A = this chain, B = another copy of it.
Amino acid sequence: MNWNQDTKIVIVGLGLIGGSYARALKKKGHHVCAIDKDQASLDYALNAGIIDAGSVDTSLLPEADVIILALYPTLVVDWVRAHRGEFRKGVIITDVTGIKSAIVDQVQSLLPDDAEFIAAHPMAGREVSGVQNSDDRVFINANYIVVPTEKNSAEAIAWCRELGRELGFARISELSPKEHDRMIAYVSQLTHCIAVALMTCEDNENVRDYTGDSFRDLTRIANINEDMWTELFFMNREALLERLDGFIEEIQTIREMIRTEDAEGLKEKMRLSTKRRAMFDRD
């Protein structure tokens, strides 16, 4: 695998995450180019010194040793299908998509034998969008998940882990696409559903002056990119529905404990949640 200062990296989609990748990789001395449909985003990145070159077409593609797909989830497969003939021999491709089962197998089966796709999920979203808001500091203390399949080489998996380290992630781990999607349905998609429901279940303009930290913490992610998250939810529908049902059943159990004043049952739930939460703070 080529991975030195001469390696040509092309980021496809220069938004919040693509821009943050570009910043981090440029700081490490890499050669970074970008493809985006929006010339203004490219101009911004060129002026800010985040990229070495940019193009609204795919003319940069044949030079790429590394391609990083930072596109909207539903666009990934179609983009690969449309441009796979333009890839350089031996190219390594990765992505930043928040769901995996719905895209990894498809992308891998579309590629020629001399190209390899190794999926990854940088868990570092923010409630803003666009390259103008990109910031590579979001990777510090964040988790990076490499999502290999049987088709991936040990070399590509090792390279992808190294990419996570180059970007500055604190913890790098590996999950299969199915494990990843089941886990992400719980820790990310369910939490976003809850935050939205908490914000929309009440006309809450009048409570603004009375909220404590807890309400603000639980609704921070209620500020949400509706196009991207609707795509992510639908592309991981079965896993998310299963997690939603588990959560709804649990909160209904707690509701019944409150209705029947089952103090011991409720305290047992609270002790369990306290114990589990303490474990999350250990690192």
Nearest 8 A-B pairs (CB), nearest first?
A201-B250, A226-B270, A199-B273, A197-B251, A123-B212, A222-B273, A226-B267, A187-B215
**Contact status B142-A200, CB under 8 Å:** no
Q: How far is the CA of A254 from the CA of B247 in the complex (A)?
A: 13
Q: Given A251-B244, A272-B200, A191 and B209 touching (CB < 8 A)?
A: no
Closest to A276 in B: B199
Q: How far is the CA of A75 from the CA of B124 in the complex (A)?
A: 45
Q: How far is the CA of A269 from the CA of B197 in the complex (A)?
A: 8
Mostly, the A contact residues are helix
Q: How far is the CA of A255 from the CA of B244 in the complex (A)?
A: 7
- Taking a contact as CB atoms closer than 8 A, the residue among B187, B197, B204, B263 that contacts A211 in the complex is B187
**A window 21-63: CB within 8 A of B:** none
Total count of chain A residues near the partner, CB < 8 A: 87
Quickly give the copy total for this chain.
2
Complex contacts, A219 vs chain B, CB 8 Å: 273, 277, 280
A171 in the interface (beta carbon within 8 A): yes
| Interface-lining segment among A80-88, A106-114, A155-163, A229-237 | A229-237
Residues of A participating in the B interface, judged by any CB pair closer than 8 Å: 123-125, 142-143, 145, 171, 173, 175, 183-184, 186-188, 190-202, 204-205, 207-212, 214-224, 226-227, 229-230, 233-234, 237, 240-241, 243-255, 258-259, 261, 263, 266-267, 269-274, 276-281, 283
**Contact status B207-A186, CB under 8 Å:** yes
